[in-house]
Amino acid sequence: MSPNSLPWLLLVPLFLHLAEITAKVPAIIIFGDSSVDTGNNNYIPTIARSNFKPYGRDFIGGQPTGRFCNGRLATDFISEAFGLPPTVPAYLDPTYGIKDFAAGVCFASAGSGYDNATSDVLSVIPLWKELEYFKEFCGKLKAYQGEAKAQQTLRESLYIISLGTNDFLENYYTVPGGRGSQYTVEEYQDFLIGIAEGFLREIYQSGARKVDVTGILPMGCLPLERVTSPTMGACNELYNKVAWNFNSKLQCLIKKLNGELHGVTIVYSDVYQLFLDVLQKPLTYGFEDAASGCCATGIFEMGYMCNKKSPFTCQDANKFVFWDAFHPTERMNHIVADQMMNTTLAIFK
Ligand SMILES: *[C@@H]1O[C@H](CO)[C@@H](O)[C@H](O)[C@H]1NC(C)=O
Ligand SMILES: *[C@@H]1O[C@H](CO)[C@@H](O)[C@H](O)[C@H]1NC(C)=O
C-alpha cells in the first residue's frame, strides 16, 4: 500500500455513509389496480371486494384485508425487502395515520385502470382520484415531517405503478358500445399511454424521482380468459399480443421520460416474461397448476363468487400460480417481488 492511498482509506467510511443516506428508500408509494390494492375498496361502495374469507387465509393472522389474494401482494414483499414494514397500508383505512403512511402508502383500487371509463365499470377509484389522494397525503406529510424532510421523503421514496389489465378486459373488450366501438385497440393503447404520461409527469412535479412502472402480464392466460378463449382452455393469444404491444409502448414512454425529466429514474418491470416463463414451466417453479385458480372451481370465480361457501377450494394455494380466476397466489407474488428486487429495483437498493 502506498502512503498516498491512506487519506482515501480514511474517506471510505464517509462515502459509505453518504451512499447509505442517498440510497435509502424511506417509503413505497403505490398506485394501481387489484394487483397492488391493499384494501382501499373496503371503504368505497363497490362490488369489487375481497375482504372476506377465504381471501387472506394465508395472510398474517389469517385475516382477509381486501387484497385479492390468499396472502400478501408483491408490493408487500418489496416493502419488506427494502427494510420497510412487511405490509403496505391502504390510504383509506382509518386504522392507519400519517405516521404509518410516511413509511409506505397504497392508493390503488381493485378494478381501476388508466382510463376513467374503466373505473366507472365497477365504481372504483379512478387514477386521477388516486393522484388527488396522493396530493392530500403530500400535504399531510409536510405537516408531519416539516417541508424539507417531506420533500426528501417524496424524492427518495419508490413509486410503484401497476395497472392496465382492466382497461382491456373489464372495459375495452367487455363494455358494449364503449371504448371498443370508439377506438381500434392500437388507438386505445395510445390513449392509455397518453394518460400514463400525464400521470408520470404529475408525480414527477410532486417530487417523485424513483419510479417503477409495471407492465401488464400475459392477460390471455388468466384462468377467466382461458375459459372464454376461442381456443377453449388455452391462453387467448389475441389478449397476450395486446398486452405485449401495450408493454412495448409503455417502455418507449419510459425511455422518453427518462431522457426528458431531469434527475428521474423510471424503470419498467417486465412481469409479462416472468409469468410466461412460469406458465410454460410451472413445475420448475414448484407449481402444480398454472391454468386454474385455487379458489372454488378456479375457472371463473373472483370477488364475491370466491367465498367461504364456494366448493372445491384447494387446500394448498402454494401449488397454484393463481389464487382466484384473475389474481396470482401469494407464492407467485413473492416470486414476482424477488425477481423485481433482483433486476429492475436493484438500482434503488
Ligand atoms: C378523467 O376524469 C378527470 C376528472 O373528471 C378529468 O380531469 C380527466 O381529464 C379525465 N381524463 C380523461 C383522459 O378523460
Ligand atoms: C433473487 O436473488 C436471491 C438472492 O441472491 C436469490 O436467492 C433468488 O433466487 C433470486 N430470485 C429470483 C426470482 O431471481
Residue 112 lies in a domain: yes
- What is the pLDDT, as a whole number, of residue 233? 85
Q: Is 210 in contact with 159 (CB distance < 8 Å)? A: yes
Whose grid coordinates read 425487502? 81
Q: What is the mean pLDDT of residues 302-318?
A: 92
Question: Which numbered atom of ligand 1 lies nearest the CA of 128?
Answer: 3
Question: How many CB atoms lie under 10 A from the CB of residue 232?
Answer: 8
- Which ligand ends up closest to the CA of 188? 1
CA of 339 to the centre of ligand 2 (A): 7
Whose grid coordinates read 492511498? 5
Among residues 333, 343, 316, 344, the alpha carbon closest in space to that of 80 is found at 333
Residue 35 per-residue DSSP state: T
Amino acid at 125: I
Least confident of 20-34, 54-68, 97-111, 142-156: 20-34
* Residue numbers of the domain that contains 267: 25-279+331-348
User: Which sequence positions are flagged as catalytic?
Assistant: 34, 324, 327
* 71: phi then psi, degrees, rounded to nearest 5: -150, -130
Residue 317 lies in a domain: no
Residue 145 lies in a domain: yes
Q: Atom 12 (ligand 2): residue with closest C-alpha?
A: 339
- What is the pLDDT, as a whole number, of residue 3? 45
- For helices 185-205 and 237-260, angle between their N-to-C axes, nearest 10 degrees: 30
* 264: phi then psi, degrees, rounded to nearest 5: -90, 150
Residue 306 lies in a domain: no
Question: Which numbered atom of ligand 2 lies nearest the CA of 335?
Answer: 13
Residue 196 sits in a domain whose CATH number is: 3.40.50
Q: How far is CA 62 from the centre of its chain?
A: 22
d(CA 128, CA 141): 20
CA of 29 to the centre of ligand 2 (A): 24
Q: Is 112 in contact with 124 (CB distance < 8 Å)? A: yes
- What is the pLDDT, as a whole number, of residue 228? 85
Q: Would you call 73 exposed, middle or buried from its count of C-beta atoms within 10 A (0-12, 13-18, 19+)? A: buried
Residue 266 lies in a domain: yes
Band (227; pLDDT cuts 50, 70, 90):
confident
Residue 75 lies in a domain: yes
- Residue by residue, what is the 3-state secondary structure of 87-122? CCCECCCCCCCHHHHCCCEECCCCCCCCCHHHHHHC
Ligand 2 pocket, CB under 6 A: 335, 338-339, 342
Q: Would you call 273 exposed, middle or buried from its count of C-beta atoms within 10 A (0-12, 13-18, 19+)? A: middle
Note the maximum CA span of the chain.
Answer: 78
Residue 117 lies in a domain: yes
DSSP string, 219-287: GGGSHHHHHTSTTTTS--HHHHHHHHHHHHHHHHHHHHHHHHSTT-EEEEE-HHHHHHHHHHSGGGGT-
Q: What percent of the chain has pLDDT over 90?
A: 87
CA of 259 to the centre of ligand 2 (A): 30
Amino acid at 341: M
- Which ligand ends up closest to the CA of 345? 2
Q: What percent of the chain has pLDDT over 70?
A: 93
Amino acid at 49: R
What is the enclosing helix (H) or strand (E) of 290? strand 289-293
Q: Atom 8 (ligand 1): residue with closest C-alpha?
A: 128
User: In this structure, what C-alpha cell is assigned to residue 191?
Assistant: 390513449
Q: What is the mean pLDDT of residues 36-46?
A: 97
CA of 341 to the centre of ligand 2 (A): 8
- What is the pLDDT, as a whole number, of residue 20? 45
Ligand 1 pocket, CB under 6 A: 116, 128, 195
Ligand 2 pocket test, pick from 342, 344, 345, 349 with the greatest ligand atom count within 8 Å of Cβ, gives 342
Overall domain count for the chain: 1
CA of 127 to the centre of ligand 1 (A): 9
Q: For the chain, how big is the Rg over CA atoms in Å?
A: 21
Residue 139 lies in a domain: yes
- Which ligand ends up closest to the CA of 198? 1
Q: In the predicted model, is pLDDT for residue 17 greater than 70? A: no
